[in-house]
Amino acid sequence: MDPLQSVLALASGSVVGFTLGLVGGGGSVLAVPLLVYLVGVTNPHVAIGTSAVAVAANALLNLVNHGRAGAVKWRCAAVFTVAGVLGAFVGAWFGRQVDGEKLLALFAVLMMVVGGLMLRSRKGEGLPHVRLGRDNFPKLVGFGLGAGLLSGFFGIGGGFLIVPGLMAATGMPILNAMASSLLAVTGFGVTTATSYAFAGLINWSIAGLFVVGGLGGGLLGSRVARRLGQRRGALNILFAGLIFVVAIYMLIRTVGAFL
């Protein structure tokens, strides 16, 4: 890497760390676009594998921060994660079989659909005292498998599906879903990274710089998230807005893949 690329990798890691702390699993959506369009990783599959390593490490650090604040629903998150890891193994294999540019374009379309669903649910306060039980266990397994499959297919950037998945399965507030999603992001990231590592599709130098850059960003993002969580609908709107902006940019950059 040249010096400029190293600086861009550090800065990108800070942004991803901040957004992971701020919007949980949704923050991982920025990793692949930043690697491809800013840092300059020319192979989309290498970008996906590299982002999986970096996002998993940063998610684990942010999970600790939110866990200390008592925002993580550990049992619900654990069931969702175990189911999702199984799906991620399958999704990662299928993702490597698809043309890289088309993969990014399909990813952008899916992002916009989920962003719209998040805006529709912005007025809901959720159930802050939700616990794992017979009523939500099957839903957590089902949504976990689906989110894991798509996260593995699209790279860990698909982790933005985890937050709405947890909310749909349990009815928990978005702040708890964002915090709890980090356990799943860590599990999905390790799974996807392992698959891509065996295929030789990870740039370890860039991944290391991403992790270092994400340390400070994650701490700041966690603090901001707890403040916004007190404002009804604020995190939903922020989460959806982030998804729409990145999705539109990715569609513009990848539209040539279908022409």
Three state DSSP letters for 177-236: HHHHHHHHHHHHHHHHHHHHHHCCCCCHHHHHHHHHHHHHHHHHHHHHHHHHCCCCCHHH
Q: What is the pLDDT of residue 121?
A: 59
User: Chain-wide mean pLDDT for the chain?
Assistant: 83
Cα separations in angstroms, 10 against 44, 105, 205, 251 = 19, 26, 11, 25
Contact 132, 140 (CB under 8 A): yes
Q: What is the pLDDT of residue 242?
A: 77
Q: Which residues of the chain have pLDDT under 50?
A: none
CA distance 203 to 39: 12
Q: What is the pLDDT of residue 21?
A: 81
CA distance 126 to 76: 15
Q: What is the pLDDT of residue 204?
A: 95
Q: What is the pLDDT of residue 222?
A: 80
Q: What is the pLDDT of residue 143?
A: 93
